[in-house]
C-alpha cells in the first residue's frame, strides 16, 4: 500500500513537471502568427511599389490652344510653356498646337477625345463655359480635369483711331441715330467678347451686329479696314495700336481702371453696371486622368505663379491674378457656368 502511494506521488510530480515544461508553448504561438504577418507584408510592399511606380512625366506634353495665334488664350498658353521650359518644371518636350474653330469647340473637342491621357492639356477662356451652353459640342467644363484658375481677364471696347467718336457717350449716341446696327467684332461666336456688347446695347438702348472671329489678328484687321465699327479686345492685344493712334479705347469692362489705360473709364463708371464679366484664364487636363497627375500639375502651376516671368505676364497683359487650384477651381467653374447661363438667357442667346 505504501509502495502504491509512492508511485502515485511520483506520477503526480511527473505530470506537474510536464505541465511546467509545456508553458513555453505560449511562445510557440509566435510561429502561428508568422503566416498572418507574412500575408500582410506583401500588401504593404505592393502599396509602396505602386507609389514608387508613379514617375511623371515620362512623355512629351501636348498643349492644345483652342484659338488662333496672338489672342489672349494663345499668349497665356505660350507664356506658361516658356516658364515650364525655362525653369525645368517639365522634363520632356512640350508641343503647342493651335486648334481653332467653333469658338473653342474644335480644340477642346480634341482634348475631350483623349480622356485618360495624362499628356493632354489646354487653357480656358470664356468660351470654355459659353460654347457648351449654346451648342452641343459633346463636352462641358465637367468633361475635363481642373488644374488651376490662373487669372481673370477683362476687355476694352476700342474703335479705329480716326473714328468720329471719342467717348463712350458719343459712340452710343451714334449707335442710336444711325440707320444700320453697330458692327462689333470679338473672338468666338458666343464668348465674353460677345456678351459684353450685348449687355451694353441692352442697357443703353441700341442694337448691334456681333461679328465673330477666330483670332485677334482677324479681329484687328477687320477694324482697321473699316469692316467693323468697333471691337472687344484684351487690353494687352490692343495696347500697341492704341499707343500708335490706330485705335481709340472707349471703355473698360473691369471693376476699376487699369494702370496701362489710366484715362479710360469703366462701363460701371459710365452707369452701365451690368457690363462686367471676367473671363477665366485657367488650365485643364483631359478628363479621367489619375489623381496623382492632377496633383502633380497643381503643384507645378503653383511654382509657375511664383516666377518673375508670370508676374510680368500678369502686369503686361492687364490681368487680375486669381489663383484657385483643384477642387476650388471646380467650384469656381460651377459658379461661373451659372452666371454665364443666366446672362445668356437674359440677352436672348439661350432659351430657358
- Residue 311 corresponds to which cell in the numbers above? 508676374
CATH class given for the domain over 61-152+279-347: alpha beta
Q: What is the pLDDT of residue 352?
A: 72
pLDDT in tens, the chain (352 residues): 444 344 443 434 333 434 444 444 444 444 444 444 444 555 555 545 445 578 999 999 999 999 989 888 999 999 999 999 999 999 999 999 999 999 899 999 999 999 999 999 999 998 899 999 999 899 999 999 999 999 988 999 999 999 999 999 999 999 999 999 999 999 887 788 988 999 999 999 999 999 998 888 899 999 999 999 999 998 888 999 999 999 999 999 998 899 889 999 999 999 999 899 888 999 999 999 999 999 999 999 999 999 999 999 998 888 888 999 999 999 999 999 998 898 888 877 788 7
Whether the pTM exceeds 0.75: the reply is: no
Question: Cβ(119)–Cβ(146) under 8 Å?
Answer: no
Tell me the fold of 156-252: D-Maltodextrin-Binding Protein; domain 2 (3.40.190)
**CA separation, residue 305 to residues 22, 24, 56 (Å):** 70, 65, 21
Q: What is the pLDDT of residue 45?
A: 54
| CB-CB neighbours of 348 under 10 Å | 9
Q: What is the pLDDT of residue 186?
A: 93
Q: What is the pLDDT of residue 188?
A: 81
Q: What is the pLDDT of residue 44?
A: 53
Half-sphere exposure of 25 (CA within 13 A, CB side): 6
Q: What is the pLDDT of residue 43?
A: 53
Q: What is the 3-state secondary structure (H, E, C) of 269-291?
A: CCCCCCCCCCEEEEEEECCCCCH
Q: Which helix (H) or strand (E) holds 213?
A: strand 208-213
Question: Same CATH topology for 61-152+279-347 and 156-252?
Answer: yes
**Domain extents for the chain?**
61-152+279-347, 156-252
Calculate Rg over the CA atoms of the chain: 33
Q: How far is 129 from 212, CA to CA, in rounded Å?
A: 17
Amino acid at each position: 500500500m505504501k509502495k502504491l502511494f509512492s508511485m502515485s506521488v511520483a506520477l503526480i510530480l511527473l505530470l506537474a513537471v510536464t505541465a511546467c515544461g509545456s508553458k513555453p508553448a505560449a511562445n510557440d504561438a509566435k510561429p502561428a502568427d508568422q503566416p498572418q504577418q507574412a500575408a500582410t507584408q506583401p500588401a504593404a510592399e505592393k502599396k509602396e511599389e505602386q507609389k514608387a511606380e508613379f514617375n511623371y512625366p515620362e512623355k512629351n506634353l501636348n498643349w492644345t490652344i483652342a484659338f488662333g495665334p496672338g489672342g489672349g488664350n494663345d499668349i497665356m498658353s505660350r507664356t506658361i510653356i516658356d516658364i515650364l521650359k525655362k525653369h525645368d518644371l517639365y522634363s520632356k518636350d512640350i508641343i503647342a498646337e493651335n486648334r481653332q474653330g467653333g469658338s473653342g469647340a474644335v480644340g477642346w473637342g480634341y482634348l475631350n477625345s483623349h480622356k485618360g491621357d495624362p499628356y493632354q492639356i489646354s487653357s480656358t477662356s470664356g468660351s470654355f463655359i459659353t460654347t457648351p451652353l449654346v451648342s452641343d459640342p459633346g463636352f462641358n467644363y465637367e468633361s475635363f480635369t481642373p488644374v488651376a484658375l490662373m487669372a481673370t481677364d477683362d476687355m476694352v471696347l476700342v474703335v479705329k483711331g480716326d473714328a468720329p467718336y471719342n467717348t463712350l457717350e458719343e459712340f452710343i449716341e451714334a449707335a442710336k441715330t444711325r440707320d444700320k446696327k453697330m458692327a462689333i467684332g470679338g473672338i468666338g461666336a458666343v464668348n465674353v467678347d460677345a456678351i459684353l456688347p450685348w449687355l451694353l446695347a441692352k442697357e443703353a438702348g441700341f442694337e448691334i451686329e456681333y461679328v465673330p472671329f477666330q483670332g485677334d489678328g482677324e479681329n484687328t484687321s477687320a477694324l482697321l479696314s473699316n469692316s467693323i465699327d468697333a471691337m472687344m479686345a484684351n487690353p494687352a492685344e490692343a495696347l500697341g495700336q492704341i499707343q500708335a493712334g490706330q485705335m481709340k479705347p472707349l471703355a473698360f469692362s473691369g471693376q476699376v481702371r487699369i494702370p496701362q489705360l489710366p484715362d479710360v473709364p469703366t462701363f460701371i463708371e459710365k452707369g452701365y453696371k451690368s457690363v462686367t464679366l471676367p473671363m477665366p484664364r485657367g488650365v485643364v487636363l483631359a478628363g479621367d486622368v489619375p489623381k496623382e497627375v492632377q496633383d502633380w500639375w497643381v503643384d507645378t502651376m503653383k511654382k509657375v505663379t511664383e516666377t518673375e516671368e508670370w508676374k510680368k505676364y500678369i502686369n503686361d497683359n492687364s490681368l487680375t491674378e486669381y489663383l484657385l487650384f483643384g477642387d476650388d477651381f471646380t467650384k469656381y467653374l460651377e459658379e461661373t457656368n451659372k452666371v454665364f447661363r443666366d446672362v445668356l438667357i437674359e440677352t436672348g442667346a439661350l432659351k430657358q
